[in-house]
Amino acid sequence: MNSPTKARLSQQQVAVVSHLDGALLVVAGPGSGKTRVLTERVRSLLTNVPGHFRVLALTFTNKAADEMRDRLSDLGENRQRAFIGTLHSFCLEMITERGKSVGVEGTPHIFEQHKDRKEILLEAIRQDPLLDEEVNQIVDRKDRNRMVDNWLQTISRIKAHPISCAVLSDELDQRVIDAYDAGLRACGAYDFDDLLLLAYRLLTNNPKLADFYRRLYKFVCVDEAQDLNEAQYALLCALCGDAYKNVMMVGDPKQSIYGFNTSSPEYMERFLSEFGAKRIELTENFRSSQAVVSVARSIDPHYLVDAQLPIKGAARVFVGDNEAGEATLIVDEIELLFSQGHPDVEGGVEPSKCAVLGRTRFALLEIEKELRRRGIPFHKRLTANHENESELVDDFQLALRVMANPRDRLHFSALALKWKVTPPPPTATDALKALSQMALASSDSRAKAVVSAITAISQNTARLDLMPAFKLMREYADTLDENSRRAIYEDAAVFQQEWDQYLRSDGPSRTLAGFMSSKALGATQKAHREGVALLTVHSSKGLEFEVVFVAGMAEGTFPDYRAVGRPREMAEENRNAFVAVTRSKRLLYLTYPRVKLMPWGDNRAQQKSRFISVSEVVDG
């Protein structure tokens, strides 16, 4: 290994980077430099190991993949010998290139949104007399809706367990999943779970193809291994076969927070035994101040740190009279930090160095209002993908979907409903013509603006370019009131950033189907955005900030009331809290309101979360 790399790494990290042959499990706590270790291992393999081979580096987030690519950009052509991306993006590439044997022609069109998947299932139920009778025998509408939601969860659970659910004993479950899949295929579409399932089938049904990938990728590196589920682990096992062992997994069981997606740290232990892996622990924290590490230890007493930064930092508790009061305390402190800075934060405190986290999006509503009221720049990431606030950009996105996939009757119908017109007949194959006819029939000026934007894209046959569409949408926004104009400008700006990100990753081979699939996977999201970040705990995974506020830290909110009395769920809430506080590099604030307005209109007194042990309390 080259000595310059050694100089930048601790002894523990060098042991990981230097490991060559055989399976390796790295248990890496927060701030222990696992992304650096992963990156430097890929660098070392590409520059120091002779031979013609590629490295497969699978990350959990697109942000981690972007960071690794940036750090390895100095490798020149050698960088092209590594696939760096999420497991889903690797599956997408594999299926796009070689999916014919599992029935996929070209790039899969992905229905990633819950509402789309639910509408597919509802239509499948309407088309199946037995399923229709099963649902409609339930009198209460809410109970019927709950049954449909439960079926959706069952579908995901089955697809996430390709081994243990390979054969279904429940005939109704089988009928539900068959009807749902048929509905997707009628639209020429697949869901997010299908990417892993199809890739798994591709490898297990084609041993020669699996062997080709094993010869192509001599080394495999897997990030965030604590968040693997059965489908992901099964896919990796199918990729590796019986003899292939050059796999490194990096993860931290303390940060496993995706149990609702059937992930579990148990697959790290299975990897250790089934692959005969060597185990190395990274027990240093190069990210967080002493105050932050102290709070993390109070949440998980088993969290041991052998070495850490000599920076004290700060951890405080804010208690507001109500949720508005909590928001006021948070934003007052943010403004104070902007004006005065903090001795432990180098270069002053600016919006992009700050984040406010909530266990759910509802804990952030009043904070968003207060930031907006004071004109402080912020951005939200409350779900995997950006949620449009303007109808225009939302309709534009639907129109792009049907342009990429004219068989997509679901989104044709969604547009027709919004524009109050009749959807085109199922035989229509010219998407632009069908959209134009719908817009002409609509009395909504928004419909015509969307079609103008789509037409501007279609006129450039030489190459795909969305920029003229963004320009036309902004021109339409200029004719509207201030709030409507602002929403369109903000949504269009996010969309344009995603388009720019796609261009950087896909270059001249860009296609509309490729862009929409990348967007569905979150691969087009810009890793760093200006302004204070408003994030759910789950969407903050893998991110770090100088200043972090964790809002809504009251019993029933964080931890969630549904976890009380359920040890497995409460253990995951504990890990959620651990992840939340360790997003902070220097300053940490835990906040909650004394009184919370419940959804049904009652005010309820709040008790501080069991995860709060900080003694310095500021009352609002």
How many domains does one find in the chain?
Answer: 4
Range of the domain at 209: 11-99+197-282
My answer on whether 244 and 298 are in the same domain is: no
Decide which of 470, 504, 538 is a domain's last residue. 504
Encoding tokens for residue 601?
């209109």
Q: Where are the alpha helices (DSSP H) in 101-170?
A: 114-127, 129-136, 141-159
My answer on whether 150 and 263 are in the same domain is: no
My answer on whether 250 and 301 are in the same domain is: no
Q: Nearest 10 degrees: CA dihedral of 241, 247, 250, 253?
A: 30
Confidence of residue 386 (pLDDT cuts 50, 70, 90): low
Residue type, 361: R
Q: Nearest 10 degrees: CA dihedral of 243, 249, 255, 256?
A: -20
How many Å apart are CA 243 and CA 194, to the nearest integer? 27
Mean pLDDT of 460-488: 91
Buried b (16+ CB within 10 A) or exposed e, 254-285: bbbbbbebbbbbebbeebbeebebeebebbbb
At residue 616, does pLDDT exceed 70?
A: no
At residue 165, does pLDDT exceed 80?
A: yes
Q: What is the pTM of this model?
A: 0.84
Query: Of 4-8, 210-214, 255-259, which one has max mean pLDDT?
Result: 210-214
In a domain, 246, yes or no: yes
pLDDT of residue 4: 41
How many Å apart are CA 444 and CA 448, to the nearest integer? 7
Four-residue CA torsion sign, 170, 172, 177, 178: positive
CB atoms within 10 A of CB 9: 18
pLDDT of residue 361: 86
My answer on whether 397 and 487 are in the same domain is: yes
Decide which of 282, 301, 318 is a domain's last residue. 282
pLDDT tens string 402-451: 999 999 999 999 999 999 999 988 777 799 999 999 999 999 999 999 99
At residue 349, does pLDDT exceed 50?
A: yes
In a domain, 475, yes or no: yes
How many Å apart are CA 461 and CA 296, to the nearest integer? 55
My answer on whether 406 and 489 are in the same domain is: yes
My answer on whether 76 and 205 are in the same domain is: yes
Residue type, 400: L
State the maximum Cα–Cα separation within the chain, in Å, rounded to a whole number. 72
My answer on whether 72 and 221 are in the same domain is: yes
pLDDT of residue 306: 75
My answer on whether 419 and 500 are in the same domain is: yes
In a domain, 524, yes or no: no
My answer on whether 300 and 217 are in the same domain is: no
- Which CATH number goes with the domain that contains 558? 3.40.50.300
Least confident of 497-511, 525-539, 547-561: 497-511
At residue 505, does pLDDT exceed 90?
A: no
Confidence of residue 5 (pLDDT cuts 50, 70, 90): very low
In a domain, 419, yes or no: yes
Query: Of 50-59, 161-170, 447-456, 604-613, which one has max mean pLDDT?
Result: 447-456
pLDDT of residue 294: 92
Confidence of residue 3 (pLDDT cuts 50, 70, 90): very low
How many Å apart are CA 443 and CA 448, to the nearest integer? 9
My answer on whether 302 and 379 are in the same domain is: yes
Task: Give the H or E element holding residue 26.
Answer: strand 24-28
pLDDT tens string 116-145: 999 999 999 999 999 999 999 999 999 999
At residue 1, does pLDDT exceed 50?
A: no
Residue 386 exposed, middle or buried by CB count within 10 Å (0-12, 13-18, 19+) = buried
Residue 203 exposed, middle or buried by CB count within 10 Å (0-12, 13-18, 19+) = buried
Q: Transcribe 31-61 into DSSP letters.
A: TS-HHHHHHHHHHHHHHHS-SS-EEEEEESS
pLDDT tens string 243-273: 899 999 999 988 887 877 788 889 999 999 9
3-state secondary structure of 306: coil
In a domain, 4, yes or no: no
At residue 394, does pLDDT exceed 90?
A: yes
In a domain, 221, yes or no: yes
CB atoms within 10 A of CB 212: 13
Q: For 207-246, what is the HEC assignment?
A: HHHHHHHHHHEEEEEECCHHHCCHHHHHHHHHHHCCCCCC
How many Å apart are CA 265 and CA 251, to the nearest integer? 9
Confidence of residue 2 (pLDDT cuts 50, 70, 90): very low
pLDDT of residue 404: 94
With a pLDDT cut of 90, the percent of the chain lying above it is: 68
In a domain, 515, yes or no: no
My answer on whether 268 and 299 are in the same domain is: no
CB 512 within 8 A of CB 404: yes
Decide which of 282, 304, 330 is a domain's last residue. 282
Q: Where are the alpha helices (DSSP H) in 376-427?
A: 391-404, 409-419
How many Å apart are CA 294 and CA 430, to the nearest integer? 61
pLDDT of residue 383: 56
The per-residue pLDDT of the chain, averaged, comes to 90
In a domain, 20, yes or no: yes
Residues linked to residue 468 through DSSP beta bridges, in sequence order: none
CB atoms within 10 A of CB 372: 11
How many Å apart are CA 116 and CA 131, to the nearest integer? 19
Q: How far is CA 11 from CA 18, 23, 259, 350, in A?
A: 10, 20, 33, 35
CB 591 within 8 A of CB 551: yes
Q: Residue 166 has what DSSP assignment?
A: S
My answer on whether 185 and 260 are in the same domain is: no
Annotated binding residues for ATP, written as ranges, equal: 28-35
